[in-house]
Structure 1
């Protein structure tokens, strides 16, 4: 019985030794070829790139012209065109505080015309307030890739809602 186990053990050890030697040979060949390839690689020739620029005169002012604020009227103007279909607008008006000794709260709402229901739906909202008798207030809604008809509404505590003219946003 001992001889039979020894023969199986010797055969298994011989196979393991052969596999180990084959793995070492393969690893050595791979490392040798990698070193040979790295040693024989020549640096790529450099390529010169010449950059040029030219001055272009400014044909439009960098800033926008804001309309003067008036109580009971909202003026809306596009501030600047941005990359893609992003547009920022400025809505301005003069808010008169009905009770100057208290803080007045107001809320902006950007509404979008929904042709399916023939209604103005709220798209963006913002709230703020101030203390004092009057203040010119401004809001900067930013529209991203949603063309259509819009209007800005301003609700002031103790006063009726003021609505701007509608304006079209296109991409």
Structure 2
């Protein structure tokens, strides 16, 4: 039995030695390849990309510029419904204090021959001046309208009149 055990032990050692030599050969090949790449082997493929852009001029302003003492309107001209945006710049008579202001949509009344309040909204700010904006929806009531902006200590500013027709 001793000879049989020795034969198995010898053949197992031989296999282990073969595996060790194979692992050593693989490791040295890997290290050699890594050193070759790091030492300035063949350059990696380079791809050049060229980006281009073209300048497109703006044809018109997106919204009318707001100015002190004037109410500008932006929205569907003559439409029965849709959003209407009124803008202006309010200058505070006392820059350190709050300013409370009110928007009013007025409708012309042919019966009384006067402007009658149709919609109102109130807001405020603190500072020397502020660009203020009011977005309102027209409800499909044809007639002549105008937007008024008022604040304490500042004169009331009105927009040009506009007609809503269906």
TM tier, smaller = 0.5 to 0.7
**Residue in structure 1 matching 2:115, options 100, 120, 137:** 120
For 1:121 and 1:71, the matched residues in 2 are separated by: 24
**Residue in structure 1 matching 2:66, options 64, 69, 86:** 69
- CA contact under 8 A between 2:78 and 2:163: conserved in structure 1? no
Q: 1:88 to 1:162 in 2, by over 3 A?
A: same
Normalised to the residue count of structure 2, the TM-score between the two structures is: 0.60
**Residue in structure 2 matching 1:107, options 91, 102, 110:** 102
For 2:145 and 2:113, the matched residues in 1 are separated by: 13
For 2:76 and 2:164, the matched residues in 1 are separated by: 13
Segments of 5+ residues of structure 2 without an aligned counterpart are 1-60
Map 1:9-158 to 2 at 5 A. Answer: 65-78=62-75, 85-158=80-153
For 1:103 and 1:79, the matched residues in 2 are separated by: 33
Shift of 1:65: 2.7
For 2:112 and 2:152, the matched residues in 1 are separated by: 29
Which runs of 4 or more aligned residues in structure 1 lie more than 6 Å from their structure 2 counterparts after TM superposition? none
For 2:62 and 2:70, the matched residues in 1 are separated by: 17
Q: Secondary structure at the match of 1:155?
A: strand
Cα RMSD (Å) of the superposition?
2.0
For 1:80 and 1:138, the matched residues in 2 are separated by: 18
Larger Rg: 2
The count of aligned residue pairs is 106
**Residue in structure 1 matching 2:155, options 156, 160, 167:** 160
Greater relative contact order: 1 or 2 (C-alpha under 8 angstroms, separation 6 or more)?
2
Q: Secondary structure at the match of 1:66?
A: coil
For 1:78 and 1:170, the matched residues in 2 are separated by: 14
